[in-house]
Structure 1
Amino acid sequence: MNGTDSPDPSNASETAPGPEPRAPHHPVTEGSQASFGTYRRNPVSFVRRGTRLQGRRQTAWDEYSGSWAVDVPRHVADTSVHPDYVFDAEATFGRKAPLIVEIGSGLGEAVTHAAAEHPEWDFLAVEVYTPGLANTLMKIVSGGLTNVRVVQANAPEVLENMLPAGSVHQVWVFFPDPWHKAKHHKRRLIQPAFAEQVAQALEPGGLWRIATDWSNYAVHAREVLDGSPDFQNVHDGERAGSESPLTQVWASGVETVVGGAPVREGRAPVSTTHTGPNEGVDEVGGWAPRFEGRTLTSFERKALEAGRLVFELTGKKKS
C-alpha cells in the first residue's frame, strides 16, 4: 500500500498526546482524514512515494481513466471517499455479478489476470499509487476486459463508506506493506478495526484472502483473523508442525537476509527482530494452501527468488 505526501504521522504515539492534526482552512469530517496521515485517528497504512505519470502511463491515464476509473467524490484528500458516496456496482458494470475487491492492487497483475479467468465476476481494484493504477488501466484495455474498475482511495474508507454492507463476494489483500519496525506496526493495514470493515462489506459466507511473504506480518494477520468474532479461519489448525511455512522459515533462517542481501554485522534482521521468540515449531497452523486464483506476480517472484516463503490465510464471514 502507498500513501499521501503529507507529513509522516508514524511517530505520533511516541510523543505526548496532542490535538488531532487539521489542515488549515478546510473543514474536516470524521472519516475523511487521509490527507493528514490518519483515518479515524488511526495512522493510514500507506505512504505515497510518487504520483508522477510519464510516457505510456500518462497516456493511459488520460485516455482510459474516464472509462475505467471510478469517479469518487472527495472531501479533503485526493485518496479520501466522501462519507455520503455509495458505489453502485450493478449500474457501473451494467449487470449483477459477484464483486471481488482487491485492496492494494499494485500494478494490476493479479486483478486483471483474475478478471480474464473469471468473466462471470466483477472486480474493483483499490490502490492509492497513481502509476500502479495507470498500469492497471493499460492491462484492462490490452486485455479487452470489461469487468474491472479501478479506484484511487484509502481502503478503509472504501470498505466503510463506499461499498454497501454485504455487497462484496471476496476481499483480497495480497502482500500489503509489512511495516517491519515495531513502532510502525500500528500502520499495518490488517488490524482488528480493518477486519470489522472487511466483514461489513462482505456478504454472509464471503471470503477474505490474505497473502504475505513475511513471517512477522503472517503471525500478526493470523492473530487478527483468529481474534475476529466475524470470521472463521477456513483452514484452522491445518499446516501446523513440520508442514507449517512458519516452522520452515524458522528452521531455514532465510529471514536473516533481507531481499537476498546479508544483514550488516551487528545489526538485527529487519524482518525478524520484532517477530518475538523463534518457537522452533508452529503448533497453531491455520495456513491456507496457495490460492490458485492468484497469478504469480513479479513481486511474489522476487520474494521466492530471495528464498522467502508465502503465508496465506482465508477467512470466511460468519452468517
Structure 2
Amino acid sequence: MTESFTVDHGPLNRTYKLRRGRITPGQRSALGTLADRFALPAGDAPLDLAELFGQNAPVVLEIGFGMGDATLAMAEADPSTCLIAADVHIPGVGALLRGLHRRTLENVRVLNGDGAELLKRRIPSASLAGVRLYFPDPWPKARHHKRRLVDAAFAALVADRLAPGGRLHCATDWEPYARQMVAVLSAEPGLELEFGGPVERPEWRPVTKYETRGRARGHVVADIFARRKPGSVSGR
C-alpha cells in the first residue's frame, strides 16, 4: 500500500467506528497500483482544487462512501462535477478504486482517511460546491451522542468551506439524529436550512446499502439540505 493511502492525522474526536472487512485480492491490487492515478496528494498543505482535477469545475466532498457504489453512480451520472471521496474503510477504498478504473472515471479523487479532518485541515474556505454526508454512524446510545459528526462545530466548518450558495446534503435513517441535524444546521448563522425530513429520495442520490438496511428495519429516511447564505462571511 502506498503512502497516499495512509491517514496523516487522527481525528480530534473520532466520529466513526473502524469496521473489519476482508480485503479481496482485487481490492488489494487496486490499493497498490491505482494510488498515483486517484489518490489525493499526501501532506498537510491546502489543496488547490483546480490543479488537483486539472480543470476549474465545481467540487463536492463526500464524507464516508462505504463500498463506493453510490459514489461511482453519482460520478458517472454527473461528469461535470468533481468529487473528493473520503472513507476509513480499506476494503471500500479498494473497491472504489477498482470501480473508477473500470468505468474510466477521472472526476474523482480518493482519501483513505477522515473526511471531516480533511475538510478542516486541507480544504480552503469558500471552495466547495457541496458536501455530502449519507448515513453517517448515528451513535444511538445517549452516552455516545457527542461522537455524532453533525454538531455545531461541524456546521460552522461546512459553512466556511462551502462557496456562497454551496449545499450540504445529509441523509439518515435514524430519526433522533435527523432532528439533531435540523436543529444544528438551523442554528448555524452561515447556513440556510432548505429542508429537513422524510421526502421522496432525490433522484441524484442512489440507494445505499445502509438505506436499504434501515428501511428493512422500518426506519424512515430523512434527507436534510442546507445552503450557505450568499452574504455569510468565511474565514472561521
TM-score, normalised on structure 1? 0.66
**In the TM superposition, what is the alpha-carbon distance from 1:155 to its structure 2 partner?**
2.3
Q: How does 1:169-318 map to 2 (within 5 A)?
A: 169-235=129-195, 245=198, 289-318=200-229
Q: Distance in 2 between matches of 1:314 and 1:292?
A: 14
| More deviation, 154-163/193-202 | 154-163
Give 5+ residue unaligned stretches, structure 2: 1-7, 231-236
Assess if the C-alpha contact under 8 Å between 2:133 and 2:170 holds in 1: yes
Q: 4+ runs of 1 displaced by more than 4 Å?
A: none
Name the amino acid aligned to 1:127. D
Count residues with an aligned counterpart: 223
* Counterpart for residue 104 of structure 1: 64
More strand by share: 2
Q: Distance in 2 between matches of 1:190 and 1:72?
A: 26
Give 5+ residue unaligned stretches, structure 1: 1-31, 74-81, 237-243, 246-287
Name the amino acid aligned to 1:187. R
Q: Distance in 2 between matches of 1:173 and 1:231?
A: 16
Q: Distance in 2 between matches of 1:159 and 1:235?
A: 23
RMSD of equivalent CA atoms: 1.8
Q: Distance in 2 between matches of 1:235 and 1:180?
A: 23
Q: Percent identity?
A: 32
**Alpha-carbon displacement from aligned partner over 1:84-105 (angstroms, at most 9, x marks no partner):** x111221121111000111111
| More deviation, 141-150/51-60 | 51-60
* Counterpart for residue 46 of structure 1: 16
Q: Distance in 1 between matches of 2:182 and 2:31?
A: 37
Rg bigger for which structure?
1
TM-score, normalised on structure 2? 0.88
Q: RCO higher in 1 or 2 (8 Å CA, sep ≥ 6)?
A: 2
Name the amino acid aligned to 2:40. V
Q: Distance in 2 between matches of 1:200 and 1:51?
A: 35
Is the aligned partner of 1:94 residue 2:54? yes
* Counterpart for residue 25 of structure 2: 55
Q: Distance in 1 between matches of 2:22 and 2:216?
A: 30
Assess if the C-alpha contact under 8 Å between 1:213 and 1:310 holds in 2: yes
**In the TM superposition, what is the alpha-carbon distance from 1:51 to its structure 2 partner?**
7.1
SS at match of 1:235: strand
